[in-house]
Amino acid sequence: MLALVLTLLLVPSQQESDELTRSEELQLAREEKAQHLEPPKRSFMEKGLYEVKERRLVERFQAGFHGFHPLIGGIAKGSGFGIGTSYDITDKLKASAQVSMKGYQKYEVVFATPRFLSDRLFAEVRTTYRNNPEEAFYGLGNDTREETRSHYGLKDRSVAGQAGIRLSKNVKAGVHAGLVDVTVDQGRRSRSPSIGEVFELASLPAFDSQLTYLRTGVFFDIDTRDEPGNPRDGARYVARWNYFRDQNLRLHDFGLFDAEVQHYIPFFHQRRVIALRAKASFTRTADDQSIPFYMLPTLGGSEDLRGFADFRFRDKNLVVVNAEYRWEAFSGLDVALFADAGQVASKVSDFKFRDMNTAAGFGFRFNTEKKVFYRVDVGFSREGARVYLKFGNVF
Amino acid sequence: MKQTLALTILITVMVPSAFAQTFRADDPVWVDNDAAIDVKHIAKHKLNDQYDFMIHAFGKPGDRTPKRAMNVNTLGEVPDSSWFQNRHALRRMSIEELVRGPNSGSGPSMQGPWIVIGAKTEGITPGFRVRDARGDVYFIKFDPPQNPEMATAAEVISTKFFYALGYNVPENYLAFFTRQQLVADRKAVMTDDAGRERPLEEADLDTILKRVHRSQDGEYRAVASRQIYGLPLGPFQYFGTRPDDPNDIFPHEHRRELRGLRVFAAWLNHDDSRAINSLDVLAGVPGRRHVRHYLIDFGSTLGSGSVSAQKPRAGWEYMWEPGSALKRIATLGLWDRNWIQVKYPNLPSVGRFEAEWFDPKSWKPEYPNPAFLNATDEDTYWAAKIVMAFTNDEIRAIVKTGQLSDPAAETYLANTLIARRDKIGQQWLATMNSFDNFAIVEGELEFEHLGSRLDLAREPAYQTQWFAIDVVSETRRPVRKEDFQREAALFLVEVTSAAGTINVHIRERDGDLQIVGIDR
């Protein structure tokens, strides 16, 4: 065969009658190939990817095994990397258990009926146990020092119900009520000192008390975001009012009002987005009541004031604003520049613009169109730089 | 390795450049009989789309050596084969033929219920597989809820264009039906969101239909894609050859119709023109079986991105371009490509499709395609010539088959295709040597300047020189045009202008003159 090929190649053009026709040549080439057929082969990498897809391993992993689903992250702020599992007892009843590298634990059972009465009504009941052995505490107020970092342990058990109505596609409102039983202690041994080593425990409201609260409240939520997991357009307005009634001592009743506004301004086909958020928490107490320090609003960390530590500031009232400029580097990665400013105060009248704690930084958001699944934020503040590796979006 | 070398040499010999001046008795070949060898054993071979993305985005598969397309005949045209049939460009189709496209009937029968024999709920594109009263099987695909008519119109319109362009495509019909038309087959299984197979239930059909657009009178609009006749073997790659198909001898990245597909894909914004949207099918009967090669799934064409309007990036940039990504990061997003500024009309049934910013030369699919990247000026000229064969009326007639209910959308879509066609002509016909349509008429060589005929460019001044060829000594000598028939059996005519030279070989056989070679 090769001789024939070389002959064809080397011998100059000849009379047509002496040559094979073009069609005959093509036929020869095909007959030659027919002698050496072999099945298509896959490389090692292709085999791996092929098996993952054909066996639907990702979907099966997400769907869980015999009702068990993996949980990664999402225990609590400051808990460190956490893993766990949830279990579908029925399609409406789920149980979960999570632990973190820092020893945080969370166990929960949720009964949810997300849709009934033509999707207009929704309700859920959940009971939760949390053990947070290393909650950071820097003292109360906006002018605490970083050096006073200490920690305490917090355990709470709660049972709570929520019911609501979807007033329209983007608007829902509802009520919630529940009991929460909270105890705090000096926490476990850690690199940071225990709370009692830094602060006078007697000065901290309700440190030595085990409290049971009856919590009642209402909420109102307008959500016009295009994709809640990775919003590029729309807005969200949330308001919640909660009243915590101390069932044991009647000394620590308080009301808590939370409000949050998010706004997303897209341009250039949503490949650029200005994301804005303002958040405030205000508490109210009667003159003879005090709020346990561990129930106070907190500020700082990966979710609101990047560049500062988690729980860096704590007081009765809180305001924080965030602005982000996000731009797409390529499909799958957005980059962000952000600026955060926030403040806590014991009285609303104490809020001063000049007392704002400010931070700025940049971040990388690994995403799909629908969801930010991982982010790396680097925040800079007067207290240095901090890197946050988090599952999920900031807002 | 030796066998591969031998085959490569042989193919090189079979398809010489015209400079070699070697013409065979049957040149120019208009039919490549690549169904000649019976395919006795061939395996289904599914492709992993993530792997396909990775090897193309991060690697360089296939042969990228610059060379002429290997499967063209001596006129530079593509012979009919299991890949490609010369249709509208060479044998003009009537409006009726263009509108009918590949369709052999009127779509799934409405005389009885459609038995749903398969369903897909996982992923972002829900759909069904149904068997109609005639026993024909169809894949049912829908529009996204926010863009009624968009994906189905794009699929139907593009199917007809690709058919007329010359490719094998499935029969795609627009279908309108209500929920009552569907009945779940008791034996049918489906894959749920968790990737588990289980019996298909009526409730599953309701779940799927909730995710698609429904008209106010409760009707669903869908594309019914008729199952292609034959045994599906999996997609073809845009590089290499199929090792178990004896008839597949030309590396795909060197096939003219796959290289030229880049131009057609740019015209129709088929950014999803990758292996996963192709299909090899074993056709024929035992003893005479061969592989036919199809383009399938045109949901992501024109302004449609299948599940939403086409992404603004589509056609402008690969999914992964490290240079662009780094520039955006480094400049805080101040740098970007033009696509970021493109404005689209608010036409939900069209999606994102426009002509003003369209640049056919810089158009890109989702990720690099070896055949597209190998396209030479000859390949793009060949394809542009076919695109320019579509008249305004023909384009409007094909667009009409999309049955867009908004007349403004239909007009916009047709006008955009016409404008994009003209840009393609401007790009590849006006800037290249477009003397073409060479023919011997009453013993005279006739030709025309395509660029000027299509009002794309002025006809340049040119001159012709005639040579007699001695095929034995491979020498040529000038002859007078008037005398050329008396001088030899093979002649060369050089058509020279400022745009370059085109060599036209003319053969005399039994007193007849035949154009046997064109080299531009």
Chain-centroid distance, C-alpha B489:
38
Confidence of residue B122 (pLDDT cuts 50, 70, 90): low
Confidence of residue B109 (pLDDT cuts 50, 70, 90): very high
Q: For residue A222, tell me if it sits in a domain.
A: yes
B38 three-state secondary structure: coil
Residue A194 lies in domain: 73-390
CB-closest option in A6, A37, A331 to B313: A331
Is the domain of A195 the same as that of A244? yes
Q: Which of B1, B15, B24 is most worth mutating to test chain A (most A CB atoms within 10 A of its CB)?
A: B24
Q: For residue A180, tell me if it sits in a domain.
A: yes
Q: Which of B296-310, B389-403, B501-515 has the lowest mean pLDDT?
A: B501-515
- B160/B520 Cα distance (integer angstroms): 30
- pLDDT of res. B412: 98
- CA-based nearest residue in chain B for residue A333: B325
- pLDDT of res. B434: 93
B122 neighbourhood in chain A, CB within 8 Å: 56, 59
CB-closest option in A13, A63, A327 to B471: A13
State percent of chain B over pLDDT 90: 78
Residue type (1 letter), B494? E
Give the number of other Cβ atoms within 10 Å of residue B279's Cβ. 22
Q: How far is B367 from chain A (nearest CA, A)?
A: 12
DSSP string, A305-355: -BTB-TT-EE-SEEEEEEEEEEEEEETTEEEEEEEEEEEEESSGGG--GGG
- pLDDT of res. A340: 98
Binning chain A into helix, strand and coil, the percentages to the nearest 5 are: 15, 50, 35
B388: burial class by Cβ within 10 Å (0-12, 13-18, 19+)? buried
Judge whether A119 is closer than 8 Å to chain B, CB to CB.
no
Q: How far is B250 from chain A (nearest CA, A)?
A: 10
pLDDT digits (tens, 9 = 90+) for B268-282: 999 999 999 999 999
Q: How far is CA B340 from CA A353, A364, B267, B363, in A?
A: 38, 20, 20, 14
- Verify whether the Cβ–Cβ distance B333 to A327 is below 8 Å: yes
Nearest to A178 by CA among A212, A206, A207, A219: A212
pLDDT digits (tens, 9 = 90+) for B63-85: 999 999 999 999 999 999 999 99
Helices A22-34 and B2-14: crossing angle in degrees, nearest 10, is: 170
E strand or H helix that includes residue A176: strand A171-185
- Verify whether the Cβ–Cβ distance A327 to B9 is below 8 Å: no
Residue B284 contacts residue B292 (beta carbons within 8 Å): no
Which residues 259-288 of chain A have a CB within 8 Å of chain B?
268-269, 271-272
Q: For residue A256, tell me if it sits in a domain.
A: yes
- Verify whether the Cβ–Cβ distance B13 to A12 is below 8 Å: no
- Verify whether the Cβ–Cβ distance B472 to A12 is below 8 Å: yes
- pLDDT of res. B520: 87
Judge whether B321 is closer than 8 Å to chain A, CB to CB.
yes
B181 three-state secondary structure: helix
Q: Which of A2-16, A207-221, A267-281 has the lowest mean pLDDT?
A: A2-16
Give the number of other Cβ atoms within 10 Å of residue A350's Cβ. 15
For chain B, the domains span 1-30+429-520, 38-100+232-428, 114-155+168-231
**At residue A71, does pLDDT exceed 70?**
yes
Q: How far is CA B212 from CA B218, B221, B311, in A?
A: 12, 9, 19
Residue whose entry in the numeric block shows the structure tokens 């012709």: B464
Q: For residue A55, tell me if it sits in a domain.
A: no
Q: For residue A61, tell me if it sits in a domain.
A: no
The mean pLDDT value of chain B amounts to: 91
Residue whose entry in the numeric block shows the structure tokens 């499935």: B170
Give the number of other Cβ atoms within 10 Å of residue B414's Cβ. 21
* CB half-sphere exposure, B263, CA atoms < 13 A: 29
Confidence of residue B191 (pLDDT cuts 50, 70, 90): confident
pLDDT digits (tens, 9 = 90+) for A227-247: 999 999 999 999 999 999 999
ipTM of this complex prediction, to 2 decimal places: 0.90
- A119/B111 Cα distance (integer angstroms): 36
Q: Which of A17, A30, A58 is most worth mutating to test chain B (most B CB atoms within 10 A of its CB)?
A: A30
Exposure string of A145-164, with b = 16+ CB inside 10 Å and e = fewer, is eeeebbbbbbbbbbebebeb
Q: How far is B422 from chain A (nearest CA, A)?
A: 27
Residue whose entry in the numeric block shows the structure tokens 């009243």: A243
Residue A349's contacts (CB-CB under 8 Å, 6 or more residues apart) are: none
pLDDT digits (tens, 9 = 90+) for A91-139: 899 999 999 999 999 999 999 986 677 778 999 999 999 999 999 999 9
pTM here is: 0.89
CATH of residue A146? 2.40.160.50
- pLDDT of res. A203: 87
Residue B394 contacts residue B100 (beta carbons within 8 Å): no
**At residue A362, does pLDDT exceed 90?**
yes
- pLDDT of res. B20: 40
**Region label for A66, one of left (φ > 0), alpha (ψ between -120 and 50) or beta (otherwise):** left
Judge whether B377 is closer than 8 Å to chain A, CB to CB.
no
Is the domain of A88 the same as that of A160? yes
- Verify whether the Cβ–Cβ distance B325 to A333 is below 8 Å: yes
State percent of chain B over pLDDT 70: 94
B83 neighbourhood in chain A, CB within 8 Å: none
For chain A, the domain total comes to 2
